[in-house]
Chain A
Amino acid sequence: MVLNNIEKLIEKYHNAETSLQEEAQLKAYFNGENVAPEFEHYKPMFQYFSLSQKEQYTKDVPLNTKKTKLYQWISVAAVAVLMVGLVVPSFMGPTEQEKQEALLVYNQTMEALSLISLGMNEGKQQFNNLALVGDNINEGAHQASKLSQFSTMTNKILKNK
């Protein structure tokens, strides 16, 4: 009865009329141990189908190729940016902002210097005062000498008397 059934299924199978369930049934039968001798020669075929089904793709697929390409170009871009950074300023000269900064620094220095010079002038004034004092002292000394002359003269007069 079972054999009869299998025989019918095989016939249907070869006419491509079997459903997937019936084919699964055939596969199960031929992968089993109890295969009738008259169907023995179909065994390798169904075994082969079942074996092939287990074959697997084991290689890795490099899905990130896009990214690595990008990374390669990033290094190139970095070098380019570096070059631009080195070369361009020497061509362009100082920028507007740098000019303003320089002006600011210049003005600040000038201010500081003028402050110093103001102090210097003040000192000079005091020197002048000192010189004036010296003059007065000289004058005093002169008058003192006149006074001493006067005293000698009076001494002489006193002697004569």
Chain B
Amino acid sequence: MKQADFVSLVMPFKDKVFRLAKRLLVSREEAEDATQEILLKLWKNNKKIGDYKNVEAFSMTMTKNFCLDRLKSKQASNLKIVHSNYTDNNSSLQHQVEAKDSVDWVSKIMEDLPEQQKIIVQLRDIEEYDYEEIAKMLDMNETAIRVNLSRARKTIREKLTNTHQHGIK
């Protein structure tokens, strides 16, 4: 496989790999490094790539494993967590700014979810994979995925409702 073939194969899902890495590792730099690492690993094995039935699903599984390892390893102990600071919102703030803040708030809520749920929400709500694909990527059955997803969505809803009622607005 030549470089051009590889790039055109990887192009469609490299952003998905990056977003999943960022979801798990939080910091943009860490996620970029992880994505690069994964793409290089794929490139090294480019002769075997033809044997994989679904390169995209395989890459997502790889990303998940890589990032979880990364989080467990000591290297990640000095992982920088980048997030915006949340200032108290006055009712006089522009609606747009407020909306952006509450959008950021969602990402903050998602950071607090357990890893497994983070991955599932990322794959389902952001990347819009169907349950069958997610089941393959995570090596779980569909029911377990639905249960986890439902829990995650309810947690987000709960926290969002709380902030909505006496936080942001």
Query: CA separation between A34 and B121, bound complex, in Å?
Result: 26
A71 to chain B, nearest CB (A): 16
Chain B interface SS verdict (over half): helix
Tell me which residues across on chain B come within 8 A of A41, comparing CB atoms. Answer: 160-161, 164-165
B9-64: which residues lie under 8 A (CB-CB) from chain A?
14-15, 17-19, 22, 32, 35-36, 39-40, 43
How many residues from B make CB contacts under 8 Å with A? Answer: 39
B10 to chain A, nearest CB (A): 8
A24-83: which residues lie under 8 A (CB-CB) from chain B?
24, 40-45, 47-49, 51-53, 55-57, 59, 61-65
Query: CA separation between A59 and B21, bound complex, in Å?
Result: 14
Contact B128 A23 (CB under 8 A): yes
Whether A14 contacts B15 in the complex (CB less than 8 A), given A44-B106, A45-B106, A48-B103, comes out as no
A10 to chain B, nearest CB (A): 9
Whether A63 contacts B40 in the complex (CB less than 8 A), given A16-B146, A45-B106, comes out as yes
B128 partner, pick from A20, A44, A61, A65, beta carbons under 8 A: A20
Which B residue's beta carbon lies closest to that of A46? Answer: B125
A-B CB contact pairs (8 Å), 18 listed:
A13-B153, A15-B150, A16-B153, A20-B128, A20-B130, A23-B125, A23-B128, A24-B128, A43-B99, A45-B156, A45-B157, A47-B99, A56-B18, A57-B32, A63-B3, A63-B39, A63-B40, A65-B40
